[in-house]
Structure 1
Amino acid sequence: MSFNELTLIALALSLDAFGVAISLGICNLKFRKSVPYIASFGFFQFFFALVGAYAGVLFNSYIAEMPEVVGGIIIVLVGILMLKEGFQHEENKFIESTRAYFILGMSVSIDAMVIGFTVLNSIKNNWIIFSDSLYIGLITVIMTSIAFSMCRYLKKIKTVSAYADYIGGVILIMFGLKMIFF
């Protein structure tokens, strides 16, 4: 696989994390509190790609379609929680909980495992598998950092900040539905 192909795959994999980061960022999540999300998204993209690559041959035929559905369901549920919190006009406690770092990190990274199953498992060199997986995680860290940085400007728009929970929840639900059905 060429470097350009790997970069395109890494960018495509990071788009789910990018969208979730935008959703979280417009919900008044401070940049300091976004750092665990950035680390979680990057780590799980790396880790799941690595695990998928090593387990690809054994699990490819059994799990290839299922992870997208599971990840989509989790993201839809988080979106529903955000909408519910918006209607209740409470602080968004879930997105600042430690559980959310792991749940969202894993749910946006499940597709990296599928890429590991299908693309990275054909590489015979362990170092290349590790470095390619690490590169995927690094691209995700960069993309989610950009997303959270963009939110500083998006929150200044009064409409966005007033309806942040609703916008974030709807975006997450749409991403989750996309993962489930497409």
Structure 2
Amino acid sequence: MSQALNELLTLSLIAIAVGMDAFSVGLGMGMIPMRLMQIFKIGLTVGAFHIWMPLLGIMLGKILSETLGMVATYIGGTLLIFIGIHMFISSFQDDEKVSLKLKGIGLILFAFSVSIDSFSLGLSLGIFGTKIITAVLLFGIFATVLTWFGLLFGKKIKGILGQYSEAFGGSILLFFGIKLILAF
């Protein structure tokens, strides 16, 4: 296998691994009622964050120490925990109104929290001299597609779980927030 093809395969596998968090979190968020156009926009936003977060990591990695990566990971984990707790608690309230909106700042915070691990990855990408443009485009493409799959699959699971789906989705986000912070 040629070196270029080998690097493309390796970067694709890394992109899938990084995008699996987007799939898992999308699975949890998919249990919140939303339209297909909103799912489309969420996937594109998460994909865009998976492009610019590693680029930012690469640029800042040369200037700042690695502790910034850990601080960013803690912030992302904390955001997921708060969103998960909010979803879990609101699932037991009687009102039918959706309390968490994935629009505007809510969408930005969601995409940021899902993409924070790609920032840390960007810190190390510059060291290995990988093809940065290829890497970040693959990260963006896989994160977008995996987010769409997660949201759509979560929407299907919601139909199965009924009223408990938002609590289940919140539990997934809570778990991934704790996973980010504890790095296990």
Q: 1:101 aligns with which of 107, 111, 132?
A: 107
Give CA deviations for 1:65-106 in whole Å, capped at 9, x if unaligned: 222211100000011111221122332232343221100101
Q: Do the aligned residues in 2 keep the contact of 1:72 with 1:107 (CA within 8 Å)?
A: yes
In 1: Cα distance, 2:173 partner to 2:47 partner: 19
In 1: Cα distance, 2:13 partner to 2:119 partner: 16
In 1: Cα distance, 2:74 partner to 2:101 partner: 22
Distance 1:129 1:96, change over 3 A: closer
In 2: Cα distance, 1:97 partner to 1:61 partner: 32
In 2: Cα distance, 1:100 partner to 1:74 partner: 11
Q: Offset at 1:50?
A: 1.2
Q: 1:123 aligns with which of 129, 132, 136?
A: 129
Amino acid at match of 1:132: A
1:64 aligns with 2:69: yes
Percent of matched pairs sharing the same residue: 24
Distance 1:150 1:92, change over 3 A: same
Distance 1:110 1:3, change over 3 A: same
1:34 aligns with 2:35: no
Q: Which runs of 5+ in 2 are unaligned?
A: 1-5
Q: Do the aligned residues in 2 keep the contact of 1:57 with 1:121 (CA within 8 Å)?
A: no
Q: Do the aligned residues in 2 keep the contact of 1:42 with 1:138 (CA within 8 Å)?
A: yes
CA RMSD, Structure 1 to Structure 2 (Å)? 1.8
Which residue of structure 2 lines up, in the alignment, with residue 144 of structure 1? 147
In 2: Cα distance, 1:120 partner to 1:84 partner: 41
Q: Offset at 1:152?
A: 4.0
TM-score (norm: length of structure 1): 0.88
Q: Offset at 1:17?
A: 1.2
Give CA deviations for 1:133-154 in whole Å, capped at 9, x if unaligned: 1111111011111112223432
Q: Do the aligned residues in 1 keep the contact of 2:46 with 2:115 (CA within 8 Å)?
A: yes
Which residue of structure 2 lines up, in the alignment, with residue 155 of structure 1? 158
Q: Do the aligned residues in 1 keep the contact of 2:50 with 2:115 (CA within 8 Å)?
A: yes
2:110 aligned counterpart, secondary structure: helix
Q: Offset at 1:168?
A: 0.9
Amino acid at match of 2:178: L
Distance 1:152 1:169, change over 3 A: closer
Give CA deviations for 1:3-57 in whole Å, capped at 9, x if unaligned: 2221121111111211111111122222222122111110001100111122222
1:25 aligns with 2:25: no
1:79 aligns with 2:84: yes
1:33 aligned counterpart, secondary structure: helix
Q: Do the aligned residues in 1 keep the contact of 2:157 with 2:165 (CA within 8 Å)?
A: no
Aligned length: 177
In 1: Cα distance, 2:111 partner to 2:117 partner: 11
TM-score (norm: length of structure 2): 0.87
Distance 1:51 1:143, change over 3 A: same
Q: Offset at 1:181?
A: 0.8
